[in-house]
Amino acid sequence: MSKRLKPIPRFATEADERAFWESHDSSDYVDWNEATRAVMPNLKPTTQTISLRLPLHLLDTIKAAANARDVPYQSLIKVWLQEKVDQR
């Protein structure tokens, strides 16, 4: 037995829509079991700065590898980390 959904009202402004959703439960208006994940390939991912202590010889080796590829060493570290995560 599926729940009868309420129609989503039309909003004059984004502020009106924001106020509406702040005070209403979306599950009365949307069947989230039918939702699909949105793909937004042009959005820049959020990043966070971290501090990572590396042995100097390792950092020198990474910098040399990055220099040979003509890319910034921090970018190369991110690529290598992503590749390792993707292998899992």
Tell me the backbone φ, ψ of residue 48, rounded to 5 degrees.
-135, 135
Same domain membership, residue 29 and residue 51: no
Residue 2 clears pLDDT 80, i.e. is over it? no
Same domain membership, residue 87 and residue 47: yes
Same domain membership, residue 28 and residue 8: yes
How far apart are the C-alpha atoms of 27 and 34, rounded to whole Å?
A: 12
**pLDDT of the residue at 76:** 97
**pLDDT of the residue at 52:** 94
Q: Where are the alpha helices (DSSP H) in the chain?
A: 14-23, 56-69, 73-87
pTM for this prediction: 0.51
Query: How confident is the model over 56-86, as pLDDT tens digits?
Result: 999 999 999 999 999 999 999 999 999 999 9
Q: Which domain holds residue 86?
A: 42-88
Query: How confident is the model over 10-63, as pLDDT tens digits?
Result: 999 999 999 999 999 999 999 999 999 888 888 888 888 999 999 999 999 999
Q: How many domains does the chain have?
A: 2
Name the DSSP class of 31.
-
Same domain membership, residue 86 and residue 48: yes
**pLDDT of the residue at 40:** 85
